[in-house]
Amino acid sequence: MDLAWMAWTTPTAIFFGCIASLILMMCIWEVFSPGGAPRDGLLGLHTTRGDRLFMSLVFNAFVALAWLALVPLTLYWVLPVCLAVAVLIFMFF
């Protein structure tokens, strides 16, 4: 299969590798600690670990897009911001 249409650069490979490893780590966590007891978050949503992972990935995509549009620095500088947002989502949602 010819994948030349996709820009498989090192950052792209790292990005997809990180998402794959996050999903794998969540699967392993679920095996060792099943259920993940749903919690009520700030917005009154009942969320599980998987829900919070999905919300953090989607929200961080918007954070990265806003960063690209508004900040002249490279995306490497938004990584700590994205990690902080993910931690906050896992703690409070």
Mean pLDDT by 10 residues, the chain (93 residues): 70 83 91 82 83 91 91 87 91 85
pLDDT at 93: 83
**Cβ atoms 53, 60 nearer than 8 A:** no
Backbone dihedral region for residue 42 (phi beyond 0: left; psi -120 to 50: alpha; all else: beta): alpha
Residue 9: what pLDDT?
Answer: 76
CB 63 within 8 A of CB 82: yes
Whether the pTM exceeds 0.85: the reply is no
Whole-number pLDDT of residue 56: 92
